[in-house]
């Protein structure tokens, strides 16, 4: 495994060592296309030439609004070679979102889906000088495809540095407007090495990627570590809950990474005749109830291992090391990670068992992101920079350490923990429990002011069967037997849907806006 601080070197070294080995197996409705490392390196060279012809130079940006497809991967690796950087965004971004993204990043070139070209042009026409529209299929990379028309560029930019920017990734915006997370070549090299070691990844393994590539999970935990050891990646164009198990089987996946919401969808929609899986490793993030955890473990043939990480922390910070693995533990620091759990207001260390803000120690631009784009005040609040060049990063997440084992459990975002008559209630934990209630498919819980208890939880649920929604009285009865008194919702509302990000995180501020 290469120890270079340049992500570009990880790719080049693996192409040299594993050129004939499979790299990318892409599946869309038209079929499955497979590329070896050497074949894809030729595509990367031609993509780099196309981007260069379109005006991309070292230090300039490429704005990418694509679904999962080989072209996305080729652009990522091509900008790494050119010394440029990319801005991966949700392909369903509104014209207003695109205008905001491109205004803040001033890209030299934009890439979008052919079918969404009108919306993309509406948002980007005034700020992006060159726009390439793609089919989001393997045809984009076939001879004559729009992305591979340039003269091949086979060598990396001569002055490439570990500190060079490689990406700006916008956060999900679950509680506020998205922030631009600035990531370097060193960041991607770090996550490649660290996450490969975290799962003992080898060249014989294969990641299944069904989550969106513009999100950190697919890039950080699947593609980057695969590249550094010569493993392969099975990529699907979209996530299908009903077909996930079949896809994992057919594509011969050994490893997978998911969030809680997609797992619940898989459990609800997988046909009974789905083939049994024997996965080697499954990461998951966000809260799962015990019942859902055990059911998915049986489906996957492997108990999932919960981790904790953010776009900003680059590699995961903690992972469960329990034996057996548990549904509600994010575990202990991975590798040489250093953390602290402190009072959010005073900064003083919290005692075991007490919820506190998680701080992560590291070096900006190496094992922590470099900075937030155009946000000096936010950077000042988020980082405590030390004299030795390292920093403490305030995650904004609350965790609690087990008094006996020290293992951490996730409590929620600071704004997601409320006081009910003096007791702490994690809305995230309540949601995970309610999702297991009879007749419930999804749930979100918000805080409502109360003259006696300060605040109380109120639940919004999506019915598993819209024709037979669960009754409030039945849900109250169920909550009495499954939740402590302070955590039981005082009101129940059945809704058609819950606004979520592309990876299943609840957009609480949008739920609150609907309520007002």
Q: What is the pLDDT of residues 65-92, one digit of tens each?
A: 999 999 999 999 999 999 999 999 999 9
- Given this model, what pLDDT does residue 173 score? 56
Give residue 125's pLDDT band: very low, low, confident or very high (50, 70, 90): confident
What is the DSSP code string of 466-482?
TTSPPPHHHHHHHHHHH
| Mean of pLDDT over the chain | 93
pLDDT reported for residue 449: 87
CA atoms within 13 Å, Cβ hemisphere of 244? 26
pLDDT value of residue 401 = 95
Residue 450: what pLDDT?
82
pLDDT value, residue 415: 76
For residues 376 and 500, the model is more confident at 376
pLDDT at 516 over 70: no
Residue 251's CB: how many other CB atoms inside 10 A?
A: 21
Which of 314, 318, 323 has its CA nearest to residue 371? Answer: 314
For residue 423, the model assigns a pLDDT of 76
Q: Is the pLDDT of residue 175 over 60?
A: no
Tell me the pLDDT band of 164, cut-offs 50, 70 and 90.
Answer: very high
Confidence of residue 407 (pLDDT cuts 50, 70, 90): very high
Residue 241: how many CB atoms within 10 A of its CB? 17
Q: What percent of the chain has pLDDT over 90?
A: 83
What confidence tier does 2 reach under pLDDT thresholds 50, 70, 90? Answer: low
Residue 515's pLDDT is what? Answer: 63
pLDDT confidence of 481, banded at 50, 70, 90?
A: confident
**Confidence band, pLDDT 50/70/90 cuts, at residue 453:** confident
Lowest mean pLDDT among 45-54, 127-136, 177-186, 411-420: 411-420
CA distances from 115 to 16, 92, 119, 433 (A): 37, 11, 9, 40
Tell me the per-residue pLDDT of 189-221, one tens digit each, with 9 for 90 and over. Answer: 999 999 999 999 999 999 999 999 999 999 999
pLDDT of residue 111: 98
Examine the pLDDT at 314 and tell me if it is beyond 70.
Answer: yes
Match domain 421-515 to its CATH number in 2.60.120.10, 3.40.50.620, 1.10.3470.10, 3.30.300.30: 3.30.300.30
Band of pLDDT at residue 502, cut at 50, 70 and 90: low
User: Containing H/E element for 130?
Assistant: strand 130-134
How confident is residue 416, by pLDDT bands cut at 50, 70 and 90?
confident
Is residue 506 within 8 Å of residue 498, measured between CB atoms? Answer: yes
Give 14-58 pLDDT, tens digit per residue.
999 999 999 999 999 999 999 999 999 999 999 999 999 999 999
Please give the pLDDT value at position 504: 65
Q: Which residue has the higher pLDDT, 173 or 268?
A: 268
| Predicted confidence band of residue 507 (pLDDT cuts 50, 70, 90) | confident
Classify each residue of 471-480 as buried b or exposed e, where b means 16 or more C-beta atoms within 10 Å of its C-beta.
eeeebeebbe
Question: Strands across the sheet with 371-372, in order?
Answer: 130-134, 109-113, 61-65, 85-88, 165-170, 180-184, 371-372
Between 484 and 121, the more confident residue is 121
**pLDDT band at residue 425 using 50, 70 and 90 as cut-offs:** confident
Distance CA 318, CA 330 (A): 6
C-alpha–C-alpha distance, residues 300 and 269, integer Å:
14
- Distance between CA atoms of 159 and 172, rounded to whole angstroms? 33
Q: Mean pLDDT, to the nearest integer, of 409-425? A: 81
**384, pLDDT greater than 80:** yes
Residue-level pLDDT at 146: 94
């Amino acid at each position: 495994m290469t120890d270079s601080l340049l992500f570009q070197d990880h790719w080049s070294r693996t192409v040299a060592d594993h050129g004939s080995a499979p790299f990318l197996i892409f599946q869309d409705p038209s079929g499955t296309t497979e590329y070896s490392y050497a074949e894809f390196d030729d595509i990367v060279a031609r993509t780099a030439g196309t981007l260069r012809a379109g005006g991309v130079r070292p230090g300039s940006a490429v704005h990418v609004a694509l679904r999962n497809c080989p072209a996305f991967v080729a652009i990522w690796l091509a900008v790494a070679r050119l010394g440029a950087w990319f801005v991966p965004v949700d392909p369903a971004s509104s014209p207003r979102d695109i205008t905001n993204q491109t205004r803040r990043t001033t890209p030299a070139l934009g890439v979008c889906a052919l079918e969404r070209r009108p919306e993309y042009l509406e948002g980007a026409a005034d700020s992006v000088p060159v726009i390439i529209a793609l089919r989001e299929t393997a045809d984009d990379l076939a001879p004559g495809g729009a992305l591979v028309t340039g003269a091949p560029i086979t060598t990396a930019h001569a002055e490439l540095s570990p500190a060079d920017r490689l990406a700006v990734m916008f956060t999900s915006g679950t509680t506020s407007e998205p922030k631009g997370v600035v990531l370097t070549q060193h960041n991607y090299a770090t996550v490649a090495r660290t996450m490969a070691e975290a799962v003992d990844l080898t060249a014989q393994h294969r990641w299944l990627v069904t989550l969106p590539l513009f999100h950190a999970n697919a890039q950080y935990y699947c593609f980057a570590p695969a590249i550094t050891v010569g493993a392969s990646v099975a990529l699907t164009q979209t996530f299908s809950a009903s077909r996930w198990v079949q896809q994992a089987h057919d594509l011969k996946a050994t490893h997978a990474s998911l969030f809680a919401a997609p797992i619940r969808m898989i459990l609800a929609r997988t046909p009974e005749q789905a083939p049994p899986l024997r996965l080697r490793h499954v990461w998951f993030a966000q809260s799962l109830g015990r019942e859902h955890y055990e059911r998915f473990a049986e489906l996957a043939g492997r108990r999932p291992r919960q981790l904790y990480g953010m776009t900003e922390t680059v590699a995961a910070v903690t992972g469960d090391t329990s034996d057996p693995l548990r549904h509600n533990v994010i575990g202990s620091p991975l590798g040489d990670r250093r953390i602290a759990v402190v009072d959010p207001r005073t900064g003083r260390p919290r005692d075991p068992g007490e919820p506190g803000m998680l701080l992560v120690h590291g070096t900006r631009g190496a094992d922590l992101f470099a900075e937030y784009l155009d946000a000096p005040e936010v950077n000042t609040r988020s980082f405590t920079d030390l004299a030795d060049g390292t920093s403490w990063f305030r995650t904004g997440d609350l965790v609690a350490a087990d008094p006996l084992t020290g293992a951490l459990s996730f409590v929620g975002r600071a704004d997601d923990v409320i006081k009910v008559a003096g007791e702490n209630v994690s809305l995230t934990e309540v949601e995970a429990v309610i999702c297991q209630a009879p007749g419930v498919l999804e749930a979100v819980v918000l805080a409502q002011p109360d003259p006696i208890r300060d605040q109380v939880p109120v639940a919004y649920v999506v019915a598993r069967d819209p024709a037979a929604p669960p009754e409030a009285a039945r849900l109250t009865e169920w909550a009495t037997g499954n939740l402590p008194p302070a955590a039981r919702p005082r009101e129940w509302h059945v809704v058609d849907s819950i606004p979520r990000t592309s990876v299943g995180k609840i957009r609480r501020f949008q739920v609150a806006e609907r309520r007002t």
